[in-house]
Structure 1
Amino acid sequence: MNTSSKSVFYDGQSSVPKTIDIFLDSNKGQISFQIESKSIENEDEASFPIVSETYTWLINDIEFEHRSTALFLQHGENPIQTIKITDAASIATINQFRKASGQLSWYQTLLQKPLQFHVFLALFLLAIIGLSYVYMLPWVAEKSVALIPESYDDALGETFVDENSLFGDSQIQKTKLLNDFASGLQLNNKKKLNFKVIDSEIMNAYALPDGTIVVYTGILKEMKSYDELVGLLGHEVAHVNNRHSMKMLCRNLSGYLFISTVLGDVNGVMAILGDNVNTLQSLSFSREFEREADEEGFAIVSENQVNPKGMVTLFQRLEKEHSIDMPEFLSTHPVTKDRIQSIKKMIASKNHVVQDNSSLKILFEKLKK
């Protein structure tokens, strides 16, 4: 193949470049070119004959380097000779031959791309890294909770109780009543549960990773039947059974945990979780986790032959308390109306056996006093 463009040759001895035509022999894997010069045999002669010297370089002996839009070919050691090619068609032909013969790596191919391609690639990689950090890393952190011993859950729950005193005064008598109430239920718990009643007007309840379930008097006062309390406890127990607190904590701290894991700092993982234990009370579960807790809580209600409509009335009260509606895609919790509709669908899906439980009713009435 004869490249139609002119190339520039530097012989490594003179600073004066020479224009040459290069030829690529794909069968022999070599390039060749000629250098013309005057032959000085007799200094007295007025003119000197022009002679041509042919150079042949094996492709395997050439070092290739791309600089901007030019391709540089270097050959030899002492001196190092260089050919500069600027013709795009000639560069493409040489690169195509090198690629076909296995002499052009993917990295070298990438380097040959234009500036616009590299800018696009850089932006694409940054987008991938950003999306992975925002979405993929938290997901991996959540799934990796299965590798964390449950003893971590217990330690975090105990630390939270010690440091925060559960944000209110503990009601000893009502705490005992609530534990008696829970003991009369089949909760399908996977670990020991500890129920606490805290004196506060807040309409809330939450579960700690160690199995501690905190219920504020504010939400107890608003309840009208023990069915609602069973629904609430079933929901919170489902959070404990599925380790939702630990999963959300790991999701929120995934960046820090990733660095500690890469560095092999096992103690650092526990230290990071411990430093952020204060967030457990205000932890916002994902919509997926809330739906899962609703479904499992509903199953607990049904298994205990309690009226499942109690969950509906409970959420209706919470909806009134939190009356500011937000589109679901903007909220960390499912929209309460949607949760109510989901429970109503579960109620309508099959017949439920409901049996009045006088023991639970008596305990509930005592809790309301």
Structure 2
Amino acid sequence: MKEKVIGVFYDGVSSVPQEVALNFEAEKCVFIFETTHNKTYSWELASIIFNEKGSVLQLQHGNDPIQILKIEDVQFIDDLTVFRNKNGHIGWYQKLLNLGIKIHLGFALFIFGFIGLCYVYFIPWVAEKSVVLIPDVYDDTLGNTFFEQNTFLGTVDAKKTKVLNLFAKELKLKNKKKLKFTVIDSDIMNAFALPDGSIVVYTGIIDSMKDYEELVGLIGHEVAHVNHRHSMKMLCRNLSGYLFISTILGDANGVMAVLGENANTLQSLSFSREFEYEADIEGFKIVTSNGVNPKGMSTLFKRLQKENNIVIPEFLSSHPVTADRIRYIDKMIKTESFQSKENSKLQRLFQQIKE
């Protein structure tokens, strides 16, 4: 490369530029030049800040005062760039600046895309994991808050509620919380579980059932949601934008405050496919461990899916019954070993609920 070039020097004290003959000693990686006042300067390559502005290379040295050299020799600039790159004297930032506008735009799009993916996938995932910051006892508070805020649920059928609780007590549900069942008199085909162990069942879905095995399947599925805190996890995912900062800071009180303000949305939560499959599998195990035929679970889901072809029931909006889920349950019925027998007590209680 060229070892000598003409540059313009600003000493940082006077505003008057000085034309200097600049020598570059490649072996020592040093710039040496002498001003018109016979003052010699020696700048090590590693101590210089390089800024390219158009066809001009600006070399900045020192702090107090800041001294600047401007070079316009294109060939020298190109050779110096190759030398610096070859010998590791160009930092990542300068390399990035040298890539050009197209690379910059591509990099910017990548950054925006990465941020978008984080917002859609990573932040909700972090928010879901924030459930571990929330003590289990808060699930009870949130369930109570829901009932206080939702007087519109409908009329409670006290008789059927009593019988349904008796029905559930006959089952081994592997529940981690105390369960409380409430029957709402309504044609809505719906059932949902709250974090505190409360499970609300509408008469609409009970009336559609033909056998107690279907009711056991429904109960097993909803209890699984309670056991795995699915409603809390989904609520956290839905509110991930609000909860993200609180989670990063480990502010459990902030997380719980946001959840409490949105307790009224628990009824309309749409569980993820992963949570539904998890509830299906555990619900299946609950059914079979009680000696009940799991075909009732499959029958109920097939009936709900058939209803979906006419008008979407409330149950399907929060618990979408897909063909894949039904096939998976039918596969478990064929491949899993279980024994079932008629349960006259459950049958009798089921008939009382249907009355």
- TM-score normalised by the chain length of structure 2: 0.87
Question: Are the equivalent residues in 1 in contact too, given 2:182–2:198 (CA < 8 A)?
Answer: yes
Equivalent in the alignment of 2:347: 361
Structure 1 residues 292, 322: CA separation in 2 closer, same or farther (over 3 Å shift)?
A: same
Structure 1 residues 325, 132: CA separation in 2 closer, same or farther (over 3 Å shift)?
A: farther
Equivalent in the alignment of 1:347: 333
Find 1:68's aligned residue among 25, 44, 53: 53
RMSD: 2.9
1:154-205 Cα offsets, whole Å, 9 max, x none, are 1111100111036111111111100000000011111111111011100110
Q: Distance in 2 between matches of 1:238 and 1:138?
A: 22
> Could you tell which deviates more after superposition, 230-239 or 20-29?
20-29
Write the letter of the residue equivalent to 1:73. Answer: L
Write the letter of the residue equivalent to 2:190. Answer: N
Q: Cα distance, 1:85 vs. partner?
A: 2.9
SS at the partner of 1:99? coil
Q: Cα distance, 1:66 vs. partner?
A: 1.3
Equivalent in the alignment of 2:287: 301
Equivalent in the alignment of 1:59: 44
Question: Are the equivalent residues in 2 in contact too, given 1:64–1:71 (CA < 8 A)?
Answer: no
Equivalent in the alignment of 1:246: 232
Q: Cα distance, 1:273 vs. partner?
A: 0.5
The equivalences for 1:21-40 within 5 A come to: 22-33=22-33
Equivalent in the alignment of 2:275: 289
> Could you tell which deviates more after superposition, 217-226 or 63-72?
63-72
Equivalent in the alignment of 2:299: 313
Q: Distance in 1 between matches of 2:337 and 2:60?
A: 85
Q: Distance in 1 between matches of 2:114 and 2:318?
A: 24
SS at the partner of 2:182? strand
Structure 1 residues 125, 310: CA separation in 2 closer, same or farther (over 3 Å shift)?
A: same
Q: Cα distance, 1:243 vs. partner?
A: 0.4
The equivalences for 1:1-369 within 5 A come to: 1-3=1-3, 7-10=7-10, 13=14, 15=16, 18=19, 22-33=22-33, 55-59=40-44, 62-69=47-54, 70-75=56-61, 81-86=67-72, 87=74, 88-93=77-82, 95-96=84-85, 99-100=88-89, 105-165=91-151, 167-262=153-248, 265-323=251-309, 335-369=321-355
Write the letter of the residue equivalent to 1:157. Answer: G
Q: Distance in 2 between matches of 1:203 and 1:313?
A: 15
Question: Are the equivalent residues in 1 in contact too, given 2:142–2:263 (CA < 8 A)?
Answer: yes
Q: Cα distance, 1:310 vs. partner?
A: 0.4
Structure 1, unaligned runs of 5 or more = 38-51
> Could you tell which deviates more after superposition, 340-349 or 146-155?
146-155
Q: Cα distance, 1:108 vs. partner?
A: 4.6
Equivalent in the alignment of 1:49: none
Q: Distance in 1 between matches of 2:319 and 2:11?
A: 73
Percent identity reads: 55
Q: Cα distance, 1:79 vs. partner?
A: 7.3
Larger radius of gyration: 1
1:124-144 Cα offsets, whole Å, 9 max, x none, are 112111111110111111122
- TM-score normalised by the chain length of structure 1: 0.84
Structure 1 residues 349, 80: CA separation in 2 closer, same or farther (over 3 Å shift)?
A: closer
Equivalent in the alignment of 1:43: none
